Amino acid sequence: MPAGFDATVHAPNRLRICALLDAAGEAEFGLVQKQLGLSASVLSKHATVLMDAGYVEQRKAVRETRQRVWLRLTRAGRDAYRGHLAALREIVGPPPGPAS
């Protein structure tokens, strides 16, 4: 495997979570769930794996009388995600050139 390939990030749902959080910076759990079309239990399971790896942090707060949870990539998570993308690009090679 190329340097940077990360089996924790590689699982499809975790890769999608990392991609969303990399773009958004921070996102509320329910928004991540809706955007990715995941059940709360599936998102929770994958977020826990990412948190246990030190890749995702959660922040809890009460908003509109309800407990809300926000997720965000840690610096280590962002580095792992971007390193993994670079490793995937190395595996697949450069994009094909323009057709002549």
**pTM, full prediction:** 0.88
Q: Is 13 exposed, middle or buried (0-12, 13-18, 19+ CB in 10 A)?
A: middle
Report yes or no on 97 lying in a domain: no
Report yes or no on 33 lying in a domain: yes
Report yes or no on 1 lying in a domain: no
Q: Phi, psi (5° rounding) for residue 77? A: -65, -45
Structural domain span for residue 67:
7-90
Q: Please list the ranges in the chain whose pLDDT falls under 70.
A: 99-100
Instruction: Give me the number of domains the chain comprises.
Output: 1
Report yes or no on 16 lying in a domain: yes
Report yes or no on 95 lying in a domain: no
Report yes or no on 96 lying in a domain: no
Count other Cβ atoms within 10 Å, centred on residue 70. 20
Digit-coded pLDDT (tens) for 27-54: 999 999 999 999 999 999 999 999 999 9
> For position 23, which CATH number holds?
1.10.10.10
